[in-house]
A = this chain, B = another copy of it.
């Protein structure tokens, strides 16, 4: 028994004859170590947990796909937890995974934290934050370079000639949002005094929020000529709202979305967007777990995908809607 166990776990080298004898017996008996027993004995599960807001969302779905693949490549199982973006569920899952003895945890959230999340996350060894920060947590953190993304978007809009920029943002207080906003501000600032952010909204990253923002935009006295929409879902909503009001994109208003996961190239117009390296982020997160890197922030590069939703602003004497 001991010998076999040691052989199986590679902690001993045996003469070929013995090895063959063992292997034959294993084959003959169709023996497979009972994983429950193994886990109990070893005290680890060779499993990591992935908690995210919602799998049905294509962004998180792709993240999950990348994480799953990377985990599998490392021989790790993946237990999936969807929190529906509710803090109660996040805490429940955290507690569960904590005592479940997962070997690692990848946590991605989508809303501001009041501090209880941060506390809870830290009770779990091997936790990694992905995509969005939970301020106050000491852990490895893998985000995309939100600031650079906002800057890129701002630059593109400014380069097309826009000077009154609007920003349809996420929930205030979220790190990703702050970064994108800061980046946009930096681009505007660098452009000079005639450029300004003249319109902004805040709300969840959702289609409904995009529609709401579109209504606000339509009601604005001095609407901006270009919109940086900080999430793809919201961009879809904005597009709907604009289309319903017969506002042409990019004829009447230009638009850049953050994220590029849906079939944005098939929309009318094809949407210019900031793309994050989703798969690379997922892979890096499991790598962070298996190599047990220390706390710290790692920023992944974003890129601007140019399509057809940004154009020069309509000439000054051709105001929006007559």
Chain A residues near B (Cβ < 8 Å): 32-37, 39-40, 43, 45, 47, 50, 54-58, 61-62, 64-66, 68-69, 72, 77-82, 84, 96, 99-101, 236, 239-240, 262-263, 266-268
Contacts and interface: CB of A to CB of B under 8 A. Distances in A.
Contact of A82 (B36, B65, B262): B65
Given A36-B39, A64-B80, 11 more contacts: A35-B100, A37-B40, A39-B39, A40-B40, A56-B64, A58-B58, A65-B82, A69-B82, A77-B100, A239-B266, A268-B268
A82 B99 contact: no
19 contacts: A36-B40, A36-B43, A36-B101, A37-B40, A55-B64, A56-B66, A58-B58, A58-B61, A64-B80, A68-B80, A68-B81, A69-B84, A77-B96, A80-B80, A236-B263, A262-B262, A262-B263, A263-B263, A266-B268
A83 to B, nearest CB: 10
Most buried by B among A36, A54, A79: A36
Contacts of A36: 36, 39-40, 43, 45, 101
Contacts of A101: 34-36
Contacts of A45: 36
B61 A56 contact: yes
Contacts of A99: 32-35
Nearest to A271: B266
A45 to B, nearest CB: 7
Nearest to A60: B61
A80 B79 contact: yes
Contact of A47 (B79, B82, B236): B79
Nearest to A66: B56
Given A62-B56, A68-B55, A79 B77 contact: yes
Contact of A266 (B57, B80, B100, B267): B267
A82 B80 CA distance: 12
A46 to B, nearest CB: 10
Contacts of A39: 36, 39-40
A78 B34 CA distance: 19
A89 to B, nearest CB: 8
A240 B79 CA distance: 37
